[in-house]
Amino acid sequence: MKFLFLCFIIAAGSLDAHNVHLSQSQKDKVHQYTLQCITESGVKPEVIAEAKKGHFNDDEALKKFILCFFQKSSILNGEGKLDVEAALSKLPSDVDKTAVKKVLEDCKNKTGKSTADTAFEIFKCYYKGTPTHVIFS
């Protein structure tokens, strides 16, 4: 989406978090990608809901969902690497992109056993490192 850095910025683990809102077109894309990726990954909606709260189950379907979402939104490039500039370009205009860029730079080298696992590690790193919450309503 960040249009959503996804699910990526959906929430954060900081007490001094602030909220930002997506445009309608961003919300539409997030909704479209979410539905497509739920179907493709087989993830249960309740697992996604828990991830939005910061409860990350080591769930293969969740990892595939995050990978799918990142790929559809061009946050990960063809090699499965985080594209920091592409990710920043998807964020709402009222996000402090300088602060987010620092977090992304810190997270971009996270790796896992597979591309899906790497996407999951990047997502968790970003979630823990940013105070930004994206509001869909």
The DSSP secondary-structure symbol of 135 reads E
Residue 7 lies in a domain: no
pLDDT in tens, 93-134: 778 889 889 999 999 999 999 999 999 999 999 888 887 645
What number of helices (H) and strands (E) belong to the chain? 6, 2
Highest mean pLDDT among 5-9, 45-49, 133-137: 45-49
Number of domains in the chain: 1
Residue 5 lies in a domain: no
Which CATH number characterizes residue 82's domain?
1.10.238.20
Residue 29 lies in a domain: yes
Residue 66 lies in a domain: yes
pLDDT above 50: residue 136: no
Q: What is the mean pLDDT of residues 20-29?
A: 77
Average of per-residue pLDDT values in the chain: 80
Residue 13 lies in a domain: no
CB atoms within 10 A of CB 6: 24
Q: Show the domain range for 62.
A: 18-135
pLDDT in tens, 87-98: 888 887 778 889
The DSSP secondary-structure symbol of 80 reads S
Adjacent-strand bridge partners of 132: 18
Q: What is the mean pLDDT of residues 51-62?
A: 89
